[in-house]
Amino acid sequence: MLSDRSVLVTGGSSGIGRELVRQYVAAGARVLTTARRESGLLETIEGLDAERAYIVPADLGSRTGRELITTEALRIAPIDVVVHAAGALGPKAKLADYPEDAWHEVFHINATAVHLLHQQLVPLLSPTATIIGVSSSVGRKGRGEWGMYAISKAALEGWLEVLADEWAGPVYSVNPGGTATPMRAEAMPDEDPATIPAPADIMPIFLRLARSNPDEASGTKFDARDYVGADPWALAPNGD
């Protein structure tokens, strides 16, 4: 269903980003993914079609890393879909105690670097490319001790709103909800991962939004859990 699509996924070395890469390639797309850990990226594309899965080990937070991503993205240009899945958690702490270095680092990765990468990618994007930001429940409604993670995800939501008003193609925010990923395990070490969806469970909405000429209005905010079990190509909330 995505055989005519070229997709860039950030944060593809684990968790939701890894599953996005695998599912998009399985649906026929050409996918380039990036993260700092080359070993994780190699694990992500293991067993995938080498002609449709490409990796770029790079630090999204650095200018050099973003330039490398942009250069390598020429391999799949024009790019039809960008999914900003990379993210930094930072410490769980009250704002009064939040460390300054983590404040700057988490905001930079979760918001500033997304914007700067988008600016560099613009010449490589198709005129109506789809932009998807991976948000968070705490980015929609702040929650104590989530600190800069929550604040930066709220900033990402604002960035997506502005972009949706400017960009010719569709722009979406997708909140995965609690998902069994390494980041979630770090944030909630006492939580049983069997009680929350796996990354594969929340893929229907991400697959749906990556297709050509999506019906969903630009600027729409989605909760991925609403679509668990749905057919992504005939999608309705809760599988209805």
Catalytic residue ranges: 149
| DSSP output for 153-177 | HHHHHHHHHHHHHH-SS-EEEEE--
The Cα–Cα gap between 134 and 149 comes to 13
Select from 48, 55, 109, 122 the least CA-distant residue to 82: 122
Strand partners, 54: 32
Other residues' Cβ atoms within 10 Å of the Cβ of residue 2: 22
- Say if residues 240 and 57 touch (Cβ distance below 8 Å): no
Give the Cα separation of 165 and 163 in Å (integer).
5
Q: DSSP readout, 66-118? A: HHHHHHHHTTTPSEEEEEE----------GGG--HHHHHHHHIIIIIHHHHHH
Is residue 72 within 8 Å of residue 120, measured between CB atoms?
Answer: no
Tokens of residue 122, six digits: 């613009």
